[in-house]
């Protein structure tokens, strides 16, 4: 059994943040995509990475005329500029797939987000729509909010960054720039992965 456990492929956690101009992909557009390698988990535990060392960022051309002004205002991105300067989604998502496969070499890449549901919905839809495949498979997704709820023993809806122990949070600002926020969330993941939870026994002093 021990030898079989040793053969389990490690997970390479990749923090992803997207900015979009509406609530769902298709009618609305993903306008930017940021990602940062957060760390690796194997049978011996989690090892954090420097999230600034391996990163990816693209701004994308909108795919429709529809947008929600309030959603667009969150990122501060200019749809007209992106119409002229943004990357074609098929090109950007192919480049992202190549990057994930490169940084995920020797491991299974896992997308992680806070919360993952919104970012994963856009990311997976865009990957399948524009490349036909996801380097994360259909379920390689970890939600940091669920991870925190599980470790803290709280209901999911009781978990928010404002109520988390301060030592779990990154010292970086949440700027709504996709790469900035992916790096910030990579640090949150590393802290959560190494956190024993609030009810862990305190070490006995020597």
Catalytic residues: 176
Strand partners, 65: none
Give whole-number Cα distances, 191 to 82, 156, 158, 161, 169, in Å: 35, 18, 19, 13, 7
Task: Give the whole-angstrom CA distance, residue 188 versus residue 108.
Answer: 20
133 contacts 101 by C-beta, under 8 angstroms: no
C-alpha 44 chain-centroid distance: 23
Task: Give the whole-angstrom CA distance, residue 163 versus residue 141.
Answer: 24
Q: In the block, which residue shows the tokens 């993941």? A: 189
167 contacts 196 by C-beta, under 8 angstroms: no
């Amino acid at each position: 059994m021990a030898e079989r456990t040793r053969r389990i492929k490690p997970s390479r956690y990749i923090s992803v943040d997207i900015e979009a101009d509406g609530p769902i992909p298709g009618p609305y557009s993903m306008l930017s995509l940021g990602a940062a390698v957060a760390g690796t988990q194997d049978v011996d535990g989690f090892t954090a990475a420097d999230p600034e060392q391996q990163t990816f960022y693209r701004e994308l051309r909108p795919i429709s005329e529809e947008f929600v002004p309030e959603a667009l205002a969150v990122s501060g991105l200019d749809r007209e500029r992106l119409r002229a300067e943004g990357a074609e989604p098929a090109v950007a998502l192919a480049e992202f797939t190549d990057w994930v496969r490169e940084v995920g070499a020797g491991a299974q890449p896992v997308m992680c987000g806070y919360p993952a549901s919104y970012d994963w919905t856009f990311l997976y839809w865009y990957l399948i729509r524009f490349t036909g495949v996801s380097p994360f498979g259909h379920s390689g997704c970890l939600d940091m909010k669920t991870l925190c709820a599980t470790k803290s023993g709280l209901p999911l809806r009781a978990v928010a960054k404002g109520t988390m122990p301060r030592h779990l949070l990154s010292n970086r600002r949440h700027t709504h720039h996709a790469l900035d926020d992916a790096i910030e969330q990579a640090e949150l993941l590393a802290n959560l992965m190494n956190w024993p939870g609030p009810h862990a026994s305190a070490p006995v002093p020597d």
